[in-house]
Structures are given as structure tokens and as C-alpha cells.
Amino acid sequence: MRRPTIVTVDDDPDVSAAISRDLHSQYGSEYRVVAAASGEQALATLARLALRDQPVALIVADQRMPAMTGIELLRQAETHAPGAKKLLLTAYADTNVAIAAINDIGLDYYLLKPWDPPQERLFPAIDGLLTDWRHANPDRAGGLRVVGHRWSVRSHEVKTFLDRNHVPYLWFEIDRDAEARRLVELAGATTDHLPLVLVPDGPNLRSPSPLDLADALRIRTRAEQPLYDVCIVGGGPAGLAAAVYAASEGLSTVVVEREAPGGQASQSAAIENYLGFPKGLTGSDLTHRAVAQVSRFGAEMVLAREVVGIEPRGPVLGVRLAGSGEVEARSVVVATGVSYRRLAAPGLDGLIGRGVYYGANAADAAQCEGDEVFVVGAANSAGQAALNLARYAKRVTLLVRGGALEDSMSNYLVERIVATANIEVALRSEVVGCGGDTHLESLTVADRDSGARREVPASWLFIFIGAAPRTEWLGEAVARDPAGFIVTGQDLTSPAYAARWALPRPPMALETSLPGVFAAGDVRLESMKRVASAVGDGAMSIALVHRFLG
């Protein structure tokens, strides 16, 4: 990638020189630093960079400038540099204005002046902003290429795996791109072999499984040690938090994840109520940061491997993997989370992966540009997805079984949905049928009160309903309630489950009916089903693991 640009804007020559000097010294080897003395001059600079197709990574603007305030400049800068991160330099008296700008213009960060010493106050903030920008704008030159069908189940699986594992790639649609057809011919393949994944330094992959992809990309798919202190099953927020605390406290730790790190949270376009991030952050960003922490402390991550069973083996526990292989550990944390419940509607199952999807990656929105999109659900995940999809779709219809969004969705999301012109909310509505040959083409929507039905054209349906725990692999080894959620702690002493606990000591708070096995996050009975509570569960589980290991 050409060197991205950092633009600084301040009308005070001394302050402008100081910020430029500090940024040059820290980031000059990777970024161009361009200074502007006014908002007008900065806008002209941004227009010139846009004309040259030069990427702008960060705009640092002072708030108190006479002709144009920093916030006014950053609002107008969206025209020329829509993806740039925005940092406002402000005085203490203007903090309320800066906080309001987080909602008004999507301000990423504000910093009080003076920022000395920059190593403590300026650089850490900018490091985070530039890391996020780099993550959102990877250099794809010479990288992975994927050729496939827009409405192919396997193509969607491949793209989802790559997106969720933060692997940059270029997508070529076989029915739209001449280059796609050329690549298939060069690879000696046919359309029956799609999706075709062209790895720069490895063999071409024809319709690969997630495990094939992981192996080709040198993503770890096998545990390296014969025995661990703790094996964490599931790499969502609870599992990643458990891994950070376990590894940082000296426990040999392995995380086994069947798909990619982050769980359902990684697919969220915005998590806005997570403590410490006033602007919010994407699920992908949160996952990226958590995985970096896990790696920093030395925990292993085994990806694209599904766990199919667990069994006590004297002083250790055996965790069996699908196909072949296993992991042995002195303790286990189950953090497999939940999946969306299936929607029962005629014609729907045959269209899954071909216009019908359970959940949605933030990256899915761009492919819906100009189309009619429907979202089923009324929880926060459905609301965030609707807002993200509305950035590209012609119209998004949110289908809600209940009578009010406020009954199940956070107020801040309800307000934003109501204020978005191309989102329509259909209350007391449900999908009762799907139509289409090669992909979704229509939906039948019923009014739950009158029973009236209407057929509407639709290319995309994203479903966010209920929570089904991923616990079937536990079999009879671990007590679960009728819905499949894992029973832990005091709940094991109730008459319904008391017979499942065999030790003279009482079970610990997150301990399951199998001693040494703990449950954390959404998979646990009576859990909060929030990212923050899942992280708390993960941290708490390791404190209990320490106690169990003695």
C-alpha cells in the first residue's frame, strides 16, 4: 500500500509545529504527515489527496479555530476521506462538545491539550486509531484471491471464514467478472470446482473446507502440548477472556474453536455499550484486540476444529476433536456460546446460504447494495445488523413478532432505527414462506393479529432469533436444563440436579456436574447474554480453575 497520510489541522503555528514534530518522529517511517493551518486549507488538501487516490488514515484537528471549528471540519472531511479516523484536540471546557461529537459525526477519540509527554498521552491513543484503520484497510496487493458464485453456500462459508479470521482477500464473482473466468481457466479448473481459492505461496484450493483453508493459511489446527492446565472450548468473548487471564497467570492454556475467534460478537457491526469505548467498537475490532492479548500471553489457539466429546481420565480430562485428535487438560472451561434458533418456514431451509442467513458479518452489508433486505429479530444483534445493512441496501425491513421494539432492544438502538429513513419496522409480523429457485427471490409475511399474508420481493433475509446453546457434544457427561443450557454452581444443589453432583464438597460457582469442568458465558444457565457479562464469566472461571487445581 502507498504510504497513508495523517493530516493535522491547527491555526496556532506553535501547536501545529509541535503536533507535526511528534507525529513525524513516531510515525514518519510508515505515514506521510501533512499539516494545515485552517479548516479550509485542510479540506483543500483532502480533496487533492482524494483526487490522487491517496489513502488518509487519520485527521487530527484542533477544536477552537476561528473560521471553522474542528468538529465542523471533521464533518465536512467525510466527503473526501470517509474512512479516515478522527481525533479532536480540545480544552477541558469543550469536553461536552467533544462527547456529543461521538454521536453527531462519529468522532473516534478526543484528547485534552497539552498532550505532553506524547509517549504517555498522545501515542497510545493514535496507535489504537491507526491499528484500527489498518485492520479496516488491509493491503490486498498480491494476496489471497477467491473465485466463486454469489449465491453459493460454500462460497459464503469460505468468505465468512476468511473475514472472521481477519485474512485479507480479493473476491471475484464468476457471473460478473471476466477476470474470474480467466483465473478459473489458468488454474485448470471448472465452475464445478468453485469456490476456487488461489493462495500466493501454496496450492490452489478447490471448494475447500474450513480445515483445508486453515491448513493452507498456516493457521494452527492442532494442539502442540500433550497436557495443559486448562483447555477452553470456544473462542468467543468468554473463552478469549478466560484465555487471557489463564495464560497471563502462568497456566498452560489452549483454546479450541470450531470456526473463528469472536463468536457471535465478532459479527456485530457495532458494540456501543461496552465499558471503556465511548464511540463503541465493532465486534471484529474487539476480537482482533482480544486475540492479540491471547497471543501475547502465550496461550495456544487451535482453530477450525470441532469438539465432539469430553471424558474424565483419572486426574485429567480428555477433549475429543472431530475427525481425529484430542486435547488433554487438568481442567476445562466450556465457552461454546449460543447459535440462532432455526426459523420454521416452508422453502427456507433450501435457501440457506443462498440469500437466507443466520446472523450477519459486518462485511456482508456491502454485497446488499441497492437491494431489498429483510431482518428477522428484535434483540440488539438484529438492530445493529439492520443499521449496518441500511448503509448499503435500498431498504431494510425489520420483522418483529412483538408489539414494540422497546420490549427487547436497547433504547439507543431503537432511537437510531426510527431515525433511519430506509429502515421500516413491521411489528407483529413473521416470515411464513420463502420462494426462489437458485436463490431467495420472495418472502411471504404474515400479520400475527389478522392472519393476513402478503408476498414481497426479497433478495436477502438475515435471521436473529432466540438462543440455542451449543452443548449437544457434551452428551450425558454434563448436566443441562431441558433447553440445553449448562447447569452450574448452586443450581446443581436443587432437587432436579442434586443427584448429578457426586463430591462431598459443594460445586464452585461456575463448575458443572463434572468436577473440573466450568461453564462461562452465554452457554451457562441464567447467564446475562451480554458481551461484558461473558467476559466477566471468563475471568471468574479462571479464578475457580486456580482453586480447583489447588
DSSP alpha helix (H) spans, 166-315: 178-186, 210-216, 237-248, 283-296
Q: Which residues contact 446 (CB under 8 A, 6 or more apart)?
A: 429, 430, 431, 432, 452, 453
Cα dihedral 468, 470, 475, 481, rounded to 10, equals -40
Per-residue confidence (pLDDT) for residue 365, from 0 to 100: 86
| Domains of the chain, CATH where assigned | 5-136 (3.40.50.2300), 144-208 (3.40.30.10), 230-339+468-549 (3.50.50.60), 349-463 (3.50.50.60)
The three-state secondary structure class of 280 is coil
Q: Which residues pair with 56 in a beta bridge?
A: 5
CA 540 to chain centre: 23
Percentage helix, strand, coil for the chain under 3-state DSSP, each rounded to 5: 35, 25, 40
Strand blocks (E) in 38-160: 56-62, 85-90, 109-112, 144-148
Q: Is 120 exposed, middle or buried (0-12, 13-18, 19+ CB in 10 A)?
A: exposed
Check if the beta carbon of residue 221 is closer than 8 Å to that of residue 211: yes
Q: Which residues contact 362 (CB under 8 A, 6 or more apart)?
A: 267, 268, 269, 282, 283, 284, 388
The three-state secondary structure class of 34 is strand
Cell 477519540 belongs to 109
- Please state the length of the chain: 550
- C-alpha dihedral sign at 187, 188, 190, 192: negative
Per-residue confidence (pLDDT) for residue 63, from 0 to 100: 94
Q: Measured over all CA atoms, what is the biggest interatomic distance in the chain, rounded to whole angstroms?
A: 76
Q: Which residues contact 106 (CB under 8 A, 6 or more apart)?
A: 86, 279
CA 325 to chain centre: 28
pTM, rounded to two decimals: 0.84
The DSSP H or E segment spanning 35 is: strand 32-36
Per-residue confidence (pLDDT) for residue 494, from 0 to 100: 94
Q: Would you tell me the crossing angle of helices 531-549 and 237-248 to the nearest 10 degrees?
A: 40
Per-residue confidence (pLDDT) for residue 164, from 0 to 100: 87
Q: Copy the grid coordinates of residue 355.
A: 440469500
Q: What is d(CA 514, CA 28) in angstroms, rounded to the nearest whole number?
A: 56
Per-residue confidence (pLDDT) for residue 140, from 0 to 100: 59
pLDDT along the chain (550 residues), means of 10: 88 93 94 96 94 91 93 94 94 86 91 89 92 81 84 92 88 90 90 92 90 92 96 97 98 96 85 84 88 96 96 95 94 95 93 92 83 95 94 96 93 94 97 94 96 95 91 94 96 94 95 98 93 96 97
Q: What is d(CA 310, CA 319) in angstroms, rounded to the nearest whole number?
A: 5
Per-residue confidence (pLDDT) for residue 95, from 0 to 100: 86
Name the DSSP letter for residue 282: -
Q: Which residues pair with 338 in a beta bridge?
A: 469
Name the DSSP letter for residue 114: P
